[in-house]
Amino acid sequence: MAIFKIPMSAVSISTVQDLWHIKAGATYPLLIHEIVLSQKTLVAVEGRDLKLVRHTATVTQGSGGSTPTPQNIAPGGASSGCTIHMNDTSQASAGTLATLHADVWQFLNGFFWMPAPEDRIFVAPGTGFIVSLAAAPSAAMVVSGTITYEELGL
C-alpha cells in the first residue's frame, strides 16, 4: 500500500478541463481517497458541474496542462506507477468514460469529497480516473486543491 497526493497550487482556470487525470500502471489498481478544491478570486455565487469519471484503458489522456509528480506521503516511499495529467484544457477522448459521481462545485464554498472506505472509487490496472470540470467558470479563477489516491499492492 502506498498513498500519494497530487497538489495543484494557485492555477488559473478559465475553461472546461480535466483537473486531474490519473492513469493506473499495468500492475497495480488504485483507490481514490479524497478530492479537495478551492478558489480565491471569484466573489459572486457561482457553481459548475464537476464529474468524477472512470475510463477504460483505451482512453487518450488530454493535453494542454502539466504532468506533475505524485508525492508519496511516506518519506522515502516508492514512486507512483501512474501517468498523471493535470489541468488539461483538451480533455480525455476515445474509449469508454463512465461518470461515477456528479456534483456541483460551488466556487465560494470549495469542494470536498472523501467517501466512506467502502465507497471509494476503484480503478483497475491500465485504466484511469478523471476529475472533470464540465463547464467553464464565468471568469478566470485561481484554484488550489489536492487529490489523494492509493496504489494497492505497492
Range of the domain at 144: 2-151
In this prediction, residue 56 carries a pLDDT of 87
Strands 17-23 and 128-133: antiparallel
How high is the pLDDT of residue 154?
61
Q: What is the CATH number of the domain that holds 98?
A: 2.60.120
Place of cell 467517501: 115
Number of domains, the chain: 1
- Per-residue pLDDT at 141: 97
The answer to whether the CB of 14 falls within 8 A of the CB of 139 is yes
**pTM of the shown model:** 0.94
Render pLDDT for 102-116 as a digit per residue (tens, 0 to 9): 999 999 999 999 999
pLDDT in tens, 29-43: 999 999 999 999 999
Distance from C-alpha of 10 to C-alpha of 24, rounded to nearest angstrom: 26
Q: Per-residue pLDDT tens for 123-148? A: 999 999 999 999 999 999 999 999 99
